Structure 1
Amino acid sequence: MIIIIFIALICNCYGQIGQTICSDFYESECFQSGYCYWDDFQCNPQPCHLVTEQNACRTGGALQIGCKPVSYTPPQFVASCYSSAYTKQKIYLYRFISDLSPEDRFQTSVTIEQPSVEAMEKLYKLDLLSSSNFELNNILDSYLNQAPILIGEYSHPYYLERAIYESLQNVRDDLKIIKSERSDTMIKILELIDIYYQRLNTYSEKYSTFYNFVNFNHIHFKYLGFSFQNLIELSWTTYPENGFFSLTVIYPQIFGIQSAVSPIFMIRTTNQINLQYTMKWAITTTDFVQLRRIDLVSMNLYDAEYLPNCISGYCTVSVYGPGNYLFVTPTIPDNCSGITDLTLCILAKCNIVSNACV
């Protein structure tokens, strides 16, 4: 009889995991729940992709109405949930797991000396994913101060790539920062991307790597072009001098941009050489589309001075020099009050009031 009662108690406790609504938690319980967060006043439900306790998204769970558990998650990502408004997890919402050693996890500050290989190696052990926005900015400042070493032969590109995608993930998932704070951090992330491509100039003539919501491509002008995942082709016939063409592909949804029908194509050329090239994008929508520029600090979109020719499943446009471009459906708004996807509302650093974005 005692054994039966003990088993029953275990089953009852297990059944309660993920079922308590967030507003019933005190602060310490809120942090430990795996599906709630504390906003200085009360405990609130996490956005689905930030949930780590999948029971909360299952039948009987506290978030069962708004979230569903991801059935399979690749090992490099955190197992989480996805919004019931979606049919599956969006590629831009997966969360990387830190590959730091256990003793380095949650280490978010260190004393950094003058630029040196030893100081660079200390930077590599800092946990950007768990950093507050204040700590993240300090870490990025340290990376920028180490630029002379980071562009040198002792720096491997992977560690810069990791710092970039982890910083972007941190900014995407920080529920407390406002737009101006995101802008301040983005300035530093963009500077780090520039340092990264300087490193690639001496690392390889042809290089690409993929990290879901941000991907990197770097190629010498002499190759006269390349394609990215059958999504976009970039080509040129001549070049005024030797140099490199760099393409960073970023999913605009991580910034809450609703109108986008393509990734952001962040294009850089060595010394801002005014290279003339052609972009050929494979159309992914039946809607009318336009090419827009985007300011990756303010996240404002502007009409591009180039008009694409969209026919037979492709949009082709001739472009000069560096720039940040994306294709959008111009009738879809990106201001807070016009965002209908509540996940994008959160990523745009807007607020949700009465189930509407404001």
Structure 2
Amino acid sequence: MVKAGAFGIGTPACVTLPCYLIDEVAACRTGGSLQTGGANTECDSLETFSLQYDNVCCDKNFGKMNYAFVRFTMNFDGFVDQTNDATPIPMASLNVATSVKEMFKLYTINPWIVSQETTEANFQSKLLAILNKYLETATRDVLLSQSRSHPFYLERTVYQSLQLLRDWTVIHRSTIALRNAILPKIWSLALVALTRMTTFQPNYYQTNYYFINFAIIPYFRNSLKISGQLHTLTIDWSAYSYTDKGYVMVYSYAPEQFGIIKAYTDVFCIRPFLGSTVAYSPTENNYDNLFASLKFTYYWSDTTLTITDSQVKLFKISDDTQTIVDTGVVFTCVPASRTCTNTGTYSPSPVPSDGKGQNYFIAHVNYDASQGDKKRAQCILAYKTWTTVCA
């Protein structure tokens, strides 16, 4: 647990932590009791705190909590590889199909403990073991069909894994190999969670966890509104002439946790399914290939922000966050109402390369033009070089 504003790495050295990782608010206050010239040159203390998260500092002059870097409070009860009960069961031996009781034992396995590993190899293997346990056929089928299986436990494992991956990468400056090993499993589990939501609460289900959000909604409702930090995005498919019942399943995530700055919206993964009952496919290829004619309306609540049509672009991003292309969509913005809407309609690819869904975000046309605009954590998460600036 980080208590002040610096930590040691390898040979004797003291490195200032990125602001969001600091636990001692005095480290971020100018004129505080801790040494001047450390974190307080890069960070400010938050004006308000919450019991939902551990953050007490933010980047200099940002003035608020950044949703991309929320740190949910971790506990270290139990075990990372076995159940936490009177007679612990090794995770590999746990059969959740035996009874509901065994299913709930799965939820006692604690991913937060992975953060205490001392090597990247162990961190990767321990976190992957948990994700693979949720995704193995026998476990996944129970989590999808058992009436007492609540989507929250799947969602929780997703946000825990994202937080663990983000913070390990920032602290240890890991290579992209770690992300490439873990992130596909996280998105697969997110798809399992979305699929479960369609039977758990089929008329509508939506949850928000700051840096990752989930929603499912039937086709007949025609649109879905997704909230992010100081913005909302409405996805409207009312012009789509579907031939059967269906669902739009979406997860959205804050792009800064992957080093993307100057995005107006979160990244949103659209996963449409045609049919009255959503069936999970292990190959993740049961995508409604005809899903088309979409309208995107971006609304910003920050009254200090001014946006013009030419600045706004819709970008498509791959599951691994490494390939980003301009879709060519043109937007019309109305400053008086603080909204931008695409002209005409947009149709996703009928044959998506990412089976879990198609991922987009709306951003400034030059969102990635200047690496020097990135703060320490953003820079590291973009796998750039940080000294005193990002390059």
Which category of TM-score, normalised to the shorter sequence, fits these structures?
Answer: 0.7 to 0.9
Whether the aligned pair in 1 keeps the contact of 2:194 and 2:215 (CA below 8 Å) is no
Taking the TM superposition and a 5 Å limit, the aligned residue runs for 1:1-358 are 33-41=3-11, 42-58=13-29, 59-60=31-32, 61-62=34-35, 63-98=39-74, 103-104=77-78, 107-110=79-82, 111-112=90-91, 113=93, 114-116=95-97, 117-132=100-115, 133-134=123-124, 135-145=126-136, 146-152=139-145, 153-174=147-168, 175-176=171-172, 177-205=174-202, 206-229=204-227, 231-237=232-238, 238-270=241-273, 271-273=286-288, 274-282=290-298, 284=300, 285-287=306-308, 288-304=311-327, 307-312=329-334, 313-316=339-342, 317-320=345-348, 322-333=357-368, 337=371, 339-353=373-387, 355-358=388-391
- Secondary structure of the residue aligned to 2:374 is coil
How far apart, CA to CA, are the structure 1 residues paired with 2:372 and 2:358?
26
Structure 1: stretches of 5+ with no match in the other structure: 1-30
Quick check: 1:257–1:334 contact (8 Å CA) kept in 2? no
Q: How far did 1:202 drift?
A: 1.1
Deviation of 1:251 (Å)? 1.0
- Per-residue CA distance 1:168-193 (angstroms, 9 max, x = gap): 11122112222221121111001001
Letter in 2 for 1:76: Q
Does 1 or 2 have the higher relative contact order (CA < 8 Å, sep 6+)? 2
**TM-score, normalised relative to structure 2:** 0.75
The 3-state SS of whatever aligns with 1:357 is coil
Q: Deviations over 1:140-175 (max 9, x none)?
A: 111112211221223111111111111111122112
Q: CA deviation at 1:76?
A: 0.9
Change (3 A) 1:289 1:138: same
Match for 1:56: what amino acid? A
Deviates more, 1:178-187 or 1:77-86: 77-86
Q: Distance in 2 between matches of 1:33 and 1:96?
A: 16
The 8 Å contact of residues 82 and 88 in structure 1, kept in 2 or not, is answered as: yes
Structure 1 CA distance, aligned partners of 2:323 and 2:10? 30
The secondary structure found in structure 2 opposite 1:332 is: coil
Identical counterparts, % of pairs: 24
Write the letter of the residue equivalent to 2:378.
L
| Aligned AA (2:347) | V
User: Equivalent residue of 2:234, what SS?
Assistant: strand
Match of 2:86 in 1: none
Call closer, same or farther: CA 1:191–1:178 in 2, change over 3 Å.
same
User: Structure 1 311/352 Cα, relative in aligned 2: closer, same or farther at 3 Å?
Assistant: closer
Secondary structure of 2:110's counterpart equals coil
Please report how far the alpha carbon of residue 85 of structure 1 lies from its aligned counterpart in structure 2 after TM superposition: 4.2
For residues 3-62 of structure 1, give each alpha carbon's deviation from its aligned partner in whole angstroms, at most 9, with x where no partner exists: xxxxxxxxxxxxxxxxxxxxxxxxxxxx66443333333442221111112222222424
Task: Give the deviation of 1:267 after TM superposition.
Answer: 0.5
Letter in 2 for 1:314: C
CA root-mean-square deviation:
2.4
Cα distance in 1 for residues equivalent to 2:365 and 2:333? 18
Distance 1:37 1:349, change over 3 A: farther
Aligned length: 321
| Offset at residue 281 of structure 1 (A) | 2.1
Structure 1 position 257, deviation (Å): 0.3
TM-score by length of 1: 0.81
SS at match of 2:295: strand
Cα gap change, 1:319 to 1:171, in 2 (>3 Å)? same
CA separation in 1, counterparts of 2:218 and 2:259?
Answer: 33
Contact 1:226 1:234 in 2 (8 A): yes
Q: 1:239 to 1:333 in 2, by over 3 A?
A: same
The one-letter code matched in structure 1 to 2:142 is I
Shift of 1:298: 4.0
User: Shift of the alpha carbon at 1:339?
Assistant: 4.8
Structure 2 gap ranges (5+)? 83-89, 116-122, 274-285, 301-305, 351-356
| Deviates further, 209-218 or 176-185 | 176-185
